[in-house]
Structure 1
């Protein structure tokens, strides 16, 4: 019998567990593509190209937002940002909702900023207000919506974005007062609730952080960590979205959402969650549906609900926050979208 001592079995088990825990998203993406290559090679190629192209499209927003978050952490400016969100909760919520409606970040690009704000100890109510409003409207989306659906619809969508943010912030603030929604980030994302100390104590800001090796190291560590985190979840999201676009015909969406009245508004709110394409592709679809008789309120509800809970955004949110916060995020989006659709329909019919 050999005298060589074999490594303990649990060492391999622990290794496999760490690989599965840290890389299961990449493993699932690879497995999904492998299955597609076996049974449907053209779709596998199309899905891979779709994912790469969309990652390139959101790349500038991701680089900007990741860079801002990493810079704030390396310089110590994150404490100043966090302190800017202190004060009256009502004022914070309104300002955050307005900032979200005017920000140029897409629903995916805003994720690292949200993680940084939560890690700094910024109240979840203000963060949620910004989070909900940001993906619905931005300056370029306003212009495009005006061109496709008209200025009245663009204004209504802007008001819906800000209103949804304020509504979400108020709901979260009310729940927080009774002791809920503490420490919203998942384990391993950001610094959890420990960042609240940056709000309580003022630390000097080193704007030229590149002169300090430790701060440079921190900058790159946070940037790489956030980039890898987002890359794996967005890759999965875009792969799934490509399959939805390939296997869920646009004609089916048209037939389901067509028609006038208030009933389609509720249906459009629910269908908008899984069927939403992206902010730009959805506009001509809604324009076509409204041309076929769909109620304007249903079109608005579809755009708002889909914008907030689009597949890439929802998966990124799921990876970022704990389940109760995610469910609250989806619930607020649905209720707010339905309400905005009904109010817009009432305004149109007056």
Structure 2
């Protein structure tokens, strides 16, 4: 048993946390450039290079693997899977399918439109819309890399629960009439599902890596830059006063600050890592991440073109309340996860 634990520990350290990369960049920073990583400049440089390379490696590997899996679930097949299921079971399936779809809320909205035009219940489509940017498979592995398996698994579970509950509430309130009319009028072409060959799936996965890489690289660099700034230049006393455990409004502040931003899991993780390193509660950190990925202002603007104001406000309120509850719960029970 100890041997198995040792193997898993080694895999976590070397493949997810990439200790080898940390030590390599440390050697480059200290021995080659002559900058101590304990100092602000050296520490910032080490943080920026290490996190950027680490995220880009994980990004490429994860997108390839997830896109390969996703090739088995084109929108037409997904619509068929969801079409015959209603109620909470449908919400659960919609939330689970959201874990193998695009990595930001904006790219999930076109699929949401397709599902709605196909006549799927509005509650199921919203369960999908909540879970898609929030708890994709990439977030599980990336969170394991930064915060460990307990926090990563707990994050995914509560994210799925939020997606199911949110979709169920919207379904029970009969909000179908608040979908913009043109969405329902879009002709749903029931295209024949063509099976892809293994070579085609690999090609598709490679293309997705390139496409998503081009879409997120700038946000990753910005996120890592902000993370390096927080990690090495902003005093811990200031962070603790603003959103530390001593501030009872820390989760609320983190949620409100996160909403106007636009990024995905790859761009927010370096910031979350830096905040966590400064002693910010894990619930506050996760609330910030969730707000950025699920309720970013650009995605809300896009969604406002698809649903009417009452449904949009209801969606934001449900998700925001859920995020705040999750944040305070993680802070309260962090001793079980860290």
Q: TM-score, normalization: structure 1?
A: 0.57
Structure 1 gap segments, 5+ residues each: 1-56, 209-233
Q: Map of 1:265-276 to 2, 5 A cutoff? A: 265-275=251-261
Whole-angstrom distance in 2 between the partners of 1:301 and 1:207: 39
Q: Does 1:323 align with 2:321?
A: no
Question: In structure 2, do the counterparts of structure 1 residues 296 and 276 end up closer, same or farther at CA, with 3 Å as the change threshold?
Answer: farther
Distance change in 2, residues 1:187/1:344 (3 Å): same
Aligned to 1:303: 289
Instruction: Tell me which of 93, 115, 139 is aligned to 1:141.
Output: 139
User: Structure 1 residues 306 and 95, CA, compared in 2 at 3 Å: closer, same or farther?
Assistant: same
The reply to whether residue 259 of structure 1 matches residue 244 of structure 2 is: yes
Partner of 1:156: 154
* C-alpha contact 1:276 1:307 (8 A) present in aligned 2: yes
Pairing 1:347–2:327 present: no
Question: Could you give the per-residue CA deviations for residues 239-268 of structure 1, whole angstroms, max 9, x where no partner exists?
Answer: xxx9xx99xx97699577531154211221
| Matching residue of 1:182 | 176
- Cα pair 1:156 1:344 within 8 Å, conserved: no
Match of 2:168 in 1: 170
Q: 1:157, 1:304 within 8 Å by CA — same for their partners in 2?
A: no
Counterpart CA distance in 2 for 1:254 and 1:105 is 29
Cα distance change of structure 1 residues 323 and 206 upon mapping to structure 2, 3 Å threshold: same
Assess, with a 3 A threshold, how the Cα gap between structure 1 residues 184 and 121 changes in structure 2: closer, same or farther.
farther
Distance 1:267 1:108 in 2: 23
- CA shift digits 1:140-173 (9 cap, x unpaired): 2222222122222211221122011011012112
Distance 1:257 1:281, change over 3 A: farther
Which residue matches 1:23? none
Whether the aligned pair in 2 keeps the contact of 1:167 and 1:336 (CA below 8 Å) is: no
Structure 1 residues 256, 311: CA separation in 2 closer, same or farther (over 3 Å shift)?
farther
CA distance in 2, matches of 1:145, 1:316: 28
Matches within 5 A, 1:24-43: none
Q: Displacement of 1:296 after TM fit?
A: 1.0
Contact kept, 8 Å, 2:103 with 2:264, in 1: the verdict is no
CA distance in 1, matches of 2:147, 2:81: 40
Instruction: Note if contact 1:265-1:338 (Cα within 8 Å) is conserved in structure 2.
Output: yes
CA distance in structure 2 between the partners assigned to 1:349 and 1:90 by the alignment = 32
Q: Which structure's CA Rg is the greater one?
A: 1
Q: Is the 8 A contact 1:102 1:138 kept in 2?
A: yes
TM-score normalised to the size of structure 2?
0.59
Q: Partners of 2:119 and 2:291 in 1: how far apart?
A: 28
Secondary structure of the residue that 2:305 maps to in structure 1?
helix
Check conservation: 1:100, 1:162, Cα contact below 8 A: no
In the alignment, is the contact (CA less than 8 A) between 1:82 and 1:120 conserved in 2? no
Deviates more, 1:150-159 or 1:111-120: 150-159
Question: Secondary structure in 1 aligned to 2:177?
Answer: coil
Instruction: Say which of 258, 268, 280 aligns to 1:282.
Output: 268
Distance across 2 between alignment mates of 1:83 and 1:185: 22
Q: 1:258 to 1:207 in 2, by over 3 A?
A: closer
Q: Tell me, in whole angstroms, the C-alpha distance in 2 between the residues paired with 1:88 and 1:120.
A: 14
Q: Name the CA distance, whole Å, in 1 between partners of 2:289 and 2:164.
A: 18
SS in 1 for 2:182: coil
Q: Find the counterpart in structure 2 of residue 47 from structure 1.
A: none
Q: What is aligned with 1:224?
A: none
TM-aligned CA deviation for residue 103 of structure 1: 3.2
Structure 1 segment 213-252 matched on structure 2, within 5 A: none
Is 1:84 the counterpart of 2:82? The answer is yes
Please state if 1:115 is matched with 2:119: no
